[in-house]
Amino acid sequence: MANEQDRMERIVALAKRRGFIFPGSEIYGGLNGFWDYGPLGVELKRNIKDAWWHDCVTTRDDMVGVDAAIIMNPKVWEASGHVTGFTDPMVDCKACKTRYRADSVAHFELYEIWSGWTDPKNPPAMGLFNSLQPGSAEARETGLRFIAFLDVTDAELQAAVRRMLESKRARVVHVVEEGMLAEDSGYICVQDGNRAYWLGPGLVDATYRCLCGGGLTEARQFNLMFKTHVGALEDSSSLAYLRPETAQGIFVNYKNVLDTSRLKVPFGIAQIGKAFRNEINPRNYTFRSREFEQMEIEFFCHPGEADKWYATWRQARFDWYVGLGLKSDRLRLRDHEKDELAHYANACADIEYAFPFGVAELEGVANRTDFDLKQHQEFSGRDMTYYDDETKERFLPYVIEPSGGVDRALLAFLCEAYDEDEAPDEKGKAQKRTVLRFHPRLAPIKVAVFPLVKKDGMPEKARAIYEECRRHLAAFYDEKGAVGRRYRRQDEAGTPFCVTVDGQTFEDGTVTIRDRDTMKQERIQSESVLGYVREHLHL
């Protein structure tokens, strides 16, 4: 876990240093849960969205797009259930005033009771946990850190442990008594990285505690939608919300799309757009933010074909991430258990990625049944049924929803691409190299062009090659510093190819082209650079 934490810190540092991601409003101390994308970050983000739109919309004849308003009639959110049901339980620390989601305190209890354990073959004794007090000198000497307690039932504890083990986030390393997941469960010790989790009946009567050791308030419900007002008056009549999801903009336009596009069921409507959630405790870098961007599809189909389309989209969306470079065992596809399903869903699967901070959802694919259309039909009084001319049947379509986060996808691609190896410097000495091995479709810059030195006509020749390339793809020109350092900068940006104009260029018309991943260099004709890059990147 410590290595993963270090890795995440290096990724965050690189993202800021190279202009991928900046803290929002940083010169004023920032604002928790908001992030800005720099020159490289905005290109990477745009490439992700372009790839999604091309693969899910442009190349299909059963898909169209919409771009719905961020602020909608508040009745939309009454119909969808967001006004009354889009809430999280919130607790505050009585001592330090830190605010938590109550269910995240449960997460601390079940998964992060003590951290700092480094010997997987020698788990700490249960008595050590019983004897140590949070913040005590003895606790500090052991290197173990108290996280939190929560009052839970045995059944809840067993279910949580089972889910944790099945998700492969942790493993049992020691059993104190027999029947660890039976009704008479004893204490068990679970290993997850360098953390030791003792779970068992002894924790059932424990009390809530903050990370600082302070007590917590009673939980109260907190609506996650950002409120605003439309018009000159600020009263209940002008109350509106920033949308917490893009899906409802699709549902309310379902009939408009049907009437104007001449589509027939099955068909889909896609949208990429901003959404806003007033998260109680934004965390894990850009993963859980208050402002984020979604890529969503609502695919309308006959109820009798919903299971087939759900299976199709479930696999297609997983394969999309694999095809763009998430090929390691960090990418997973997990089906929801029945007790996890939303009340409107028949089935749901999460495409998860093992980030350095833990396994988390990239995208969900759900069979939402006819819940949304039925709700909007009831609240609006408009007929949402579909009439099939061929079968003469009228029905409310079922909806299959692949819903992914642009920011989460970007973070996953960034984490997957991050690598460290060694490369020779100008003197042939091996030096540590940081490189982002992006898939070519996602790389913010496709090719960088350098003159070896700023004289002898080299800058002019390099500029000419750069100008030709940038008319067709993302290119970069750099003439500052030693060429080896320029290579390193482009490696950190994830640029697949670097082209160098040198003295030999004026002798035989060739330039050196260097591959980011292999660091192999070869000479090609200068007029062939654009074609070479396109061919090797399959652009």
Model pLDDT, residue 135 = 43
Domain end among 221, 253, 285: 221
pTM of the model: 0.78
Residue type, 458: M
Counting the structural domains of the chain, the total is 3
Beta bridge partners of 363: 351, 404
Same-domain status, 185 and 322: no
Confidence (pLDDT) at 132 = 40
Is 57 within a domain? yes
309 with 377, same domain?
Answer: yes
Nearest alpha-carbon partner for 257 in 196, 299, 200, 306: 299
How many other β-carbons are positioned within 10 Å of the β-carbon of residue 327?
Answer: 12
Tell me how far apart the alpha carbons of residues 404 and 293 are, in angstroms, rounded to a whole number.
9
Instruction: Decide: 116 and 194 in contact? Cβ < 8 Å.
Output: yes
CB 513, CB 462: distance < 8 Å: no
**Among candidate residues 9, 1, 20, 83, the one with its CA nearest the CA of residue 436:** 20
Q: Do 173 and 105 fall into the same domain? A: yes
Structure tokens at 219: 């939980």
Q: Strands, E, within 145-304: which ranges?
A: 145-146, 171-175, 188-192, 195-199, 220-223, 227-229, 239-241, 267-276, 291-301
Whether residue 100 is contained in a domain is answered as yes
Q: What is the pLDDT of residue 101?
A: 64
Instruction: Please report whether residue 312 resides in a domain.
Output: yes
Residue 100 sits in the same domain as residue 204: yes
Within-domain flag for 24: no
CA distance 342 to 529: 53
Q: Are residues 376 and 494 in the same domain?
A: no
Q: In this structure, are 130 and 193 located in the same domain? A: yes
Query: What 3-state class would DSSP assign to 58?
Result: helix
170 within domain boundaries: yes
Q: Is residue 435 assigned to a domain?
A: no
Give Cβ neighbours of residue 28 (< 8 Å, ≥ 6 apart). none
Do 498 and 510 lie in a common domain? yes
Distance (Å, rounded) from C-alpha 444 to C-alpha 41? Answer: 8
CA–CA distance, 110 with 108 (Å, rounded to integer): 6
pLDDT at 134: 40
The verdict on 78 and 106 lying in the same domain is: no
Residues 461 and 377 in one domain: no
| Pairing of β 510-515 and β 497-501 | antiparallel
CATH number, domain containing residue 320: 3.30.930.10
> Are residue 318 and residue 187 in the same domain, yes or no?
no
Distance of CA 235 to the CA centre of its chain: 37
Shared domain check, 284 and 152: no
- Strand pairing partners for 400? 299, 367
Cα(443)–Cα(73) distance, rounded to whole angstroms?
39
- Which two three-digit tokens encode residue 461? 């020749």
**Which residue range(s) make up the domain with 478?**
445-537
- Six-digit token pair at 412? 């996953």
Q: CA-CA distance, 509 to 527, in Å (whole number)? A: 8
Distances (CA, A) of 60 to 52, 65, 298: 12, 11, 14
Last residue of a domain, one of 221, 248, 275: 221
Write down how long the chain is.
539
In a domain, 461, yes or no: yes
Does residue 275 fall inside a structural domain?
yes
pLDDT of res. 378: 95
Give me the average pLDDT of each 10-residue run along the chain (539 residues): 79 96 93 94 98 97 96 93 76 76 44 39 43 44 38 45 48 36 38 44 40 67 85 86 95 95 94 92 88 97 97 97 93 89 91 90 96 95 94 96 97 96 73 94 98 95 97 96 94 97 96 95 96 91
Q: Say which CATH number the domain at 519 has.
A: 3.40.50.800
Identify whether residues 260 and 342 lie together within a single domain.
Answer: yes
Query: Cβ(498)–Cβ(447) under 8 Å?
Result: yes
At residue 390, the 3 state secondary structure works out as: coil
| Domain's final residue, options 196, 221, 246 | 221
* Radius of gyration for the alpha carbons in the chain, expressed in angstroms and rounded: 27
